[in-house]
Chain A
C-alpha cells in the first residue's frame, strides 16, 4: 500500500472549507502537546487558552476591536495579492494613517465638531495611499520590486512617527513620556457596546469585507486583477493593464491600512504612541492568506488571529507561559493550513504496493 496525490478534475469546494478546520484541529493537537510538555494538563489548558478570551462581554469586545484592523488591512492587501502585487508595507501605511489622522486630531480636535472624525478617516486613507503609492510608482516606472520598497518604507514611517512623538507632538503635560496629548472626544470613535471598548471602527471593517467581496468576486475589475495575477501573457493579450493592477492593488492596501491606523488612535488608545501598532500590518498578511484571499474567509481568520493575540495574554497571566506562544501558534496554524490546502487541488489515493494501481482505489 502506498499513498499518492492525484490531481482533482475541479478544485474541491468541500475542502476549501474543510481545510481550515483540519488546520485548526491539528494546531490544537500541537498546542496540547506543548502544554503537556510544559507540565500543564493539556485539555484544560487548551480550554483556558481558547475560551477565557471569550468569557465575558468585555473580552468579546476586545476580540472584536483587535480583529477589526486585522480584517480591514487583510482585505485591502488581498486585493493586491490576488493580482500578484506583493504589498508587505501594511505596517508603514498604517503608521501613515496614524500620522495623518493624528495631525488632524491634534490640530482640529480640541475646537472642531463632529466632522473631525470623518476627516481623520479620509486623511488616514490618503496617508496610507501616499505611502503605498511610492512603491507603486517605483514599480510601474522603474520596475523596482514592491516587496523591498514597501518593506523599507515601514521603517521610514516608524522613524517618522517616533520623531513626531518624541519631538513636536509630545504632550507638554505628559511628564515627558513619549506620547501625544489625549485626543479630543470629537476625534474618537463612538463605542458600540456599553461596557466594552468595541467601537464603530468594527463597522468599517465589515463594510470593507462587503466591498472587498463585491470587488473580487463580482466586478470586472476584480476579474482583471485576478487574470493579471495568474498569467502575465493572458493579461497582456486581453488588454488588462499590469500597471493599473499594481496601482489598484497597492492603493487598496494603503487605504485600508491608513484607515486602520486612524482606528487605533481614535479607538482604544485615544492617544498617539510611537508604538501605535502591535504589528497589525504584518499579521494582516497572515490573516489574508489564512482567509485564502477571500474577504469572507478573512473575516473568520481575522477573528481567529485576534483570539490568538488575546490567548497569548491569557497564557502569560494564567498559564505561566510566555506570550510569544502566540507567534508559535500563528506559525503552526499557517503551516497546517498550507499543508491541508494541497487537498483542495489533489486527492489522496491508496495504491497497491507494486506502484501501479490495479483495479479499484479509494479516493478521499
Chain B
C-alpha cells in the first residue's frame, strides 16, 4: 500500500533509528525505526508484549536503549530521565498510572508541572481543563480513593496541562467510557492542529482508525509494517499484528439458565470515605449459565459494589448477599471463595497481583484451597503446576512461573489474573474490566473463557465500561449510576442510547426509551 511519501526537507518532531532493548528473557525492542511529524497523530499497535510500552518509556527517558538513536526536532538527543523529557516538551500518560496514592489530584499534578504554582492556581487550572475536555475530576481528592477510570482521567489531565510538543498516550482509553473517549478525541485533534505530535497506543482498532493518520505495527519487538489505519480494515491490521486472522467468539447462546447462584437483596452501604459512592438499595440476581453485565461510568459505585461482592467489605446481615442460596454477606473473601465465588479486581498491580513476587506465588494468592495447601503447608509443586497451566492455557507470554509479576507486560498480566480465577472453575465469577489492556486476540480468548465458564453453569457478573464488550458477552445488562443499579435489560432489547441515558442516571427515561423501542420492534 503506497504511503504518502514524507517530504525529505520536512523536519520530524521525533525520529527513532535502530532502537533496541533487551531484557534478560526477551528482546523487547529490536532495531525499531519510527518517525513522527509535528501535528501528527501516530498509532503504535501490536500484541501484548510486542514492546510498545518499552519503546514509549525509552522516548520518555525511563528506560535506556541498548542501541539506537533518538532525534528530537532533527537533533540527536540523549533523553536520560523523565525530567529531561519534560524539559524537551514530552508528556506521557502511563499504562500503569504513575500517581502518588497518598497525594491529592492537585498535588500530583503540581509535581509534574515545570513551573511552581500555588496549589489553588493548579486546582483552578485542573477544573478548567477538566470541564473543557469533559474529564470531570475533583482536584482535592486523594488518588487512593479513586477508581482506575478516574485515575486515568487524572493522568490525561496532567499530560494536557504540561502543554507538550509530543504527547505519548499508552492505552489512555482502556478504562474510559465511550463518551469520555469521544471528547478526548476532539481534544487530541485540537492539540494536533496546534502542532502537538501524539503517539497513541491502543488495542482498540476502531479508535485508531478514527483518530490516527499513521500506524506503526510492532510484533515481537520488530516493526512489521507502517500503514494508514483509515485505509485499512480492522481485520487487515489485526493480521499484521498477530500474523493470523482473528477468530470470532463462539457464544453458544442457547445455554438454558439454571437456578439462582448469586443474589443481592437491598444492599445499601454508606460511602467509607468522603469521595466514595454510597450504594443505595441494590438488588440483583444471576442464575447459573447467565452473564450479567453492569455498565456505567467509572466512579459510580462499581468499586464499592465489587468490594461488597468479593468480601473485602463485609456486612453484619448475612442475608444481603447469597451464593447458591447460602447467606454470604458476612463472609470474608477466602470464605466466599470456599463456597464458590471468585472475583477479579480492576486494579491488577495494586490488588490482583504483587509485582515483586513470582507468578507461582501470585497464583497462590487466591488459589489457597486444599489442592495447594495441605496441613497448613504450601505444596510448591502443585502451586507451580497451576501457575504453569494458567500461563499455557491463557497464552501468557514473556514469563514463566518464576518470573516476577511486575516483569510481564500489562496485557499478559491481565491474562494471568483472569486465568487464575477462571481455572479454579468458580460457581460465581465477579469480574471488573476483564479485558483491560489486552490485545484483540487475548480479549477474544478471555471473553471466550468467560462464556465457556457460563456454559458450564456458572453465574458471571461483568463490570465494564466497554459497552461493546458487554453487548458481546452479556445476557442481561444493568446500569450503575450514583450508587444505584437500574433494572436489567435482557439481550435482544439492548439499546446503546438507552444505556447511555441510564449511565447518566436517568433510569426512568432510559426504561421509557427501551419500552418504546420494544414496541417499535414488535
Q: Which of B310, B333, B377, B407 contacts A219 (CB 8 A)?
A: B377
Whether, in the assembled complex, B351 has its beta carbon less than 8 Å from a beta carbon of chain A, the answer is: yes
Q: A233 and B64: CB pair below 8 A?
A: no
* 26 A-B pairs with C-beta separation under 8 A: A218-B378, A219-B376, A223-B361, A223-B364, A230-B354, A231-B351, A233-B347, A233-B350, A233-B351, A234-B350, A234-B352, A234-B353, A234-B365, A237-B310, A237-B343, A237-B345, A238-B365, A239-B332, A241-B332, A354-B78, A355-B78, A356-B65, A356-B78, A357-B64, A357-B65, A359-B67
Interface centre among A230, A237, A354 (most CB of B within 10 A): A237
Contact residues in A for B80 (Cβ distance below 8 Å) = 355
How far apart are the CA atoms of A357 and B368 in the complex, in Å?
45
How far apart are the CA atoms of A233 and B67 in the complex, in Å?
38
How far apart are the CA atoms of A234 and B352 in the complex, in Å?
6
Whether, in the assembled complex, A9 has its beta carbon less than 8 Å from a beta carbon of chain B, the answer is: yes
| Interface pairs A-B: 8 shortest CB-CB | A239-B333, A9-B24, A239-B334, A233-B351, A220-B373, A233-B350, A237-B351, A239-B332
Is the contact region of chain B dominated by helix, strand, or loop, or is it mixed?
Answer: loop
Q: Which of B78, B365, B403 contacts A10 (CB 8 A)?
A: B403
Contact residues in B for A231 (Cβ distance below 8 Å) = 350-351, 354
Whether, in the assembled complex, A29 has its beta carbon less than 8 Å from a beta carbon of chain B, the answer is: no
A241 to nearest B CB, angstroms?
7
Whether, in the assembled complex, A141 has its beta carbon less than 8 Å from a beta carbon of chain B, the answer is: no
How far apart are the CA atoms of A220 and B379 in the complex, in Å?
9
Contact residues in B for A357 (Cβ distance below 8 Å) = 64-67
Interface residues of B (CB under 8 A from A): 23-25, 64-67, 78, 80, 310-312, 332-337, 343, 345, 347, 350-354, 356-357, 361, 364-366, 368, 373, 376-378, 402-404, 407
Contact with B along A293-333 (1 / 0, CB 8 A): 00000000000000000000000000000000000000000
Q: B352 and A237: CB pair below 8 A?
A: yes
Residues in A265-309 with C-beta less than 8 Å from chain B: none
Q: A238 and B366: CB pair below 8 A?
A: yes
How far apart are the CA atoms of A355 and B69 in the complex, in Å?
12
Q: A237 and B24: CB pair below 8 A?
A: no
Q: B351 and A234: CB pair below 8 A?
A: yes
A282 to nearest B CB, angstroms?
29
Whether, in the assembled complex, A98 has its beta carbon less than 8 Å from a beta carbon of chain B, the answer is: no
Chain B residue at smallest Cβ distance from A4: B64
Contact residues in A for B25 (Cβ distance below 8 Å) = 9
How far apart are the CA atoms of A237 and B343 in the complex, in Å?
9
Residues in A206-257 with C-beta less than 8 Å from chain B: 214, 218-221, 223, 227, 230-231, 233-234, 236-241
Q: B403 and A9: CB pair below 8 A?
A: yes
B432 to nearest A CB, angstroms?
11
How far apart are the CA atoms of A230 and B334 in the complex, in Å?
19
Q: B337 and A239: CB pair below 8 A?
A: yes
Interface centre among B335, B365, B368 (most CB of A within 10 A): B365
Contact residues in B for A354 (Cβ distance below 8 Å) = 78
Q: A220 and B67: CB pair below 8 A?
A: no
Q: Which of B65, B333, B357 contacts A230 (CB 8 A)?
A: B357
Chain B residue at smallest Cβ distance from A345: B356
Contact residues in A for B365 (Cβ distance below 8 Å) = 227, 234, 237-238
A226 to nearest B CB, angstroms?
8
Given A9-B24, A10-B402, A234-B353: A358 touches B67 (CB 8 Å cut-off): yes
How far apart are the CA atoms of A359 and B22 in the complex, in Å?
12
Contact residues in B for A240 (Cβ distance below 8 Å) = 334
Q: How many residues of A contact B (CB 8 A)?
A: 28
Interface centre among A214, A227, A231, A234 (most CB of B within 10 A): A234
Beyond the given pairs A8-B24, A9-B24, A221-B376, 14 more chain A to chain B contacts, judged by CB atoms under 8 angstroms and listed by A's residue number, are A4-B64, A9-B403, A10-B24, A220-B373, A227-B354, A231-B350, A231-B354, A233-B351, A239-B312, A239-B334, A239-B335, A357-B65, A357-B66, A358-B67
Q: B311 and A239: CB pair below 8 A?
A: yes
Chain A residue at smallest Cβ distance from B380: A218
How far apart are the CA atoms of A157 and B38 in the complex, in Å?
71
How far apart are the CA atoms of A196 and B5 in the complex, in Å?
89
Chain B residue at smallest Cβ distance from A239: B333
Interface residues of A (CB under 8 A from B): 4, 8-10, 214, 218-221, 223, 227, 230-231, 233-234, 236-241, 354-359, 361
A188 to nearest B CB, angstroms?
35
Q: B376 and A236: CB pair below 8 A?
A: no
Contact residues in B for A358 (Cβ distance below 8 Å) = 67
A92 to nearest B CB, angstroms?
30
Chain B residue at smallest Cβ distance from A9: B24
How far apart are the CA atoms of A236 and B368 in the complex, in Å?
14
How far apart are the CA atoms of A230 and B405 in the complex, in Å?
13
Contact residues in B for A233 (Cβ distance below 8 Å) = 347, 350-351
How far apart are the CA atoms of A239 and B345 in the complex, in Å?
13
Chain B residue at smallest Cβ distance from A351: B64
Interface centre among A233, A357, A358 (most CB of B within 10 A): A233
Contact residues in B for A10 (Cβ distance below 8 Å) = 24, 402-404
Contact residues in A for B378 (Cβ distance below 8 Å) = 218-220, 223
B359 to nearest A CB, angstroms?
12
A234 to nearest B CB, angstroms?
5
Contact residues in A for B404 (Cβ distance below 8 Å) = 10
B402 to nearest A CB, angstroms?
7
How far apart are the CA atoms of A244 and B22 in the complex, in Å?
43
Chain A residue at smallest Cβ distance from B101: A233
Q: A356 and B64: CB pair below 8 A?
A: yes
Contact residues in B for A214 (Cβ distance below 8 Å) = 377
How far apart are the CA atoms of A361 and B78 in the complex, in Å?
18
Contact residues in A for B332 (Cβ distance below 8 Å) = 239, 241
Q: B368 and A220: CB pair below 8 A?
A: yes
Contact residues in A for B376 (Cβ distance below 8 Å) = 219-221
Chain B residue at smallest Cβ distance from A349: B64
How far apart are the CA atoms of A29 and B373 in the complex, in Å?
47
Contact residues in A for B354 (Cβ distance below 8 Å) = 227, 230-231, 234
How far apart are the CA atoms of A358 and B368 in the complex, in Å?
47
Contact residues in A for B333 (Cβ distance below 8 Å) = 236-239
How far apart are the CA atoms of A240 and B404 in the complex, in Å?
21
How far apart are the CA atoms of A76 and B520 in the complex, in Å?
73
Contact residues in B for A227 (Cβ distance below 8 Å) = 354, 357, 365
How far apart are the CA atoms of A10 and B405 in the complex, in Å?
11
Contact residues in A for B350 (Cβ distance below 8 Å) = 231, 233-234
How far apart are the CA atoms of A239 and B337 in the complex, in Å?
9
How far apart are the CA atoms of A159 and B357 in the complex, in Å?
44
Q: Which of A9, A220, A236, A361 contacts B23 (CB 8 A)?
A: A9
Chain A residue at smallest Cβ distance from B311: A239
Contact residues in A for B357 (Cβ distance below 8 Å) = 227, 230
Contact residues in A for B64 (Cβ distance below 8 Å) = 4, 356-357
A119 to nearest B CB, angstroms?
28
How far apart are the CA atoms of A358 and B335 in the complex, in Å?
54
How far apart are the CA atoms of A227 and B405 in the complex, in Å?
14
Chain A residue at smallest Cβ distance from B362: A234
Contact residues in B for A238 (Cβ distance below 8 Å) = 333-334, 365-366, 368
Q: Which of B335, B366, B407 contacts A9 (CB 8 A)?
A: B407
A233 to nearest B CB, angstroms?
4
How far apart are the CA atoms of A275 and B248 in the complex, in Å?
77
Contact residues in B for A4 (Cβ distance below 8 Å) = 64
Contact residues in A for B335 (Cβ distance below 8 Å) = 239
B75 to nearest A CB, angstroms?
14
B333 to nearest A CB, angstroms?
3
Given A220-B376, A238-B333: A230 touches B356 (CB 8 Å cut-off): yes
Interface centre among A8, A220, A240 (most CB of B within 10 A): A220
B414 to nearest A CB, angstroms?
15
Contact residues in A for B377 (Cβ distance below 8 Å) = 214, 218-220
Contact residues in A for B311 (Cβ distance below 8 Å) = 239
Chain A residue at smallest Cβ distance from B407: A9
B378 to nearest A CB, angstroms?
6
How far apart are the CA atoms of A15 and B373 in the complex, in Å?
30
How far apart are the CA atoms of A237 and B352 in the complex, in Å?
7
How far apart are the CA atoms of A300 and B351 in the complex, in Å?
36
